[in-house]
Amino acid sequence: MCGRFVSASPPDEIAAYFDAAAPEKLLPANYNVAPTTDVYAVLVDGGVRKLVPLHWGLIPPWAKERKIASRMINARSETIMEKPSFKNPFKKRRCIIPVDGFYEWQAIPGQKKKQPMFIQRPDGEPFAFGGLWEVWKSKDDPDEIVRSCTIITGPANEKMAEIHDRMPLILPPDRWSDWLDPELQDLDTLGKFLVPAPPQLITFYPVSTDVNLVRNKSPHLIDRVDPEQETATQASHHDSDTEPPPAV
């Protein structure tokens, strides 16, 4: 799954990195991006590659209410060509979700508590998550139009498997143009994109359980911590951890 990530790079730098037009609406730097918030996405609209804010949580055009978005933050690569919510945007409306890094929670043997880990590229460059986007129009309010997105996930590579059995789809630069091309609609060709990234593309380390709380969004969340030392400190202050986000 992918349930939390970091988007803190300046939008003009993100746009330049992906050779896209800069966004008109700016989003604040966020070290704990959670589902159902607005996130940056790279997509082709009107023949132009743009960086735009989208609501994270796909809302299919046929949905009666936008609240369905909370259940559509991820699209499984194994069923993406079969699910009615995802098949059409997979053919016609693919996007890239740029992220500086993301979080996953590692199970600790013999304990109920899980250890949050921060995953990033060793070179510090952004990840290019494969995503889908849609346009939803409210039947009750003609002025309510929402552009939304979902992040594609698939089986973990060997490195990621040390933490979790799934990971986001990460696209290499030589596939960005084809992925974003709305004219490319051949499912056999597109299916070849749905493979785990090379294990050398990711590295990770433990971070504070402060990330468990969505309201925490500051840069300290990606600081490396000693889990045992943090646990001892929390115990001395009688703090309690919240549960990590549910698996999707």
Active site residues: 2, 104
Cα separations in angstroms, 247 against 105, 117, 164: 10, 15, 10
**What is the rounded CA–CA span in Å between residue 54 and residue 36?**
10
- The three-state secondary structure class of 13 is helix
Dihedral sign (CA 24, 25, 30, 32): negative
**What is the rounded CA–CA span in Å between residue 71 and residue 63?**
12
Cα separations in angstroms, 8 against 31, 36, 38, 132, 185: 6, 18, 13, 22, 32
What residues contact 205, with CB distance under 8 A and at least 6 apart?
A: 117, 118, 224
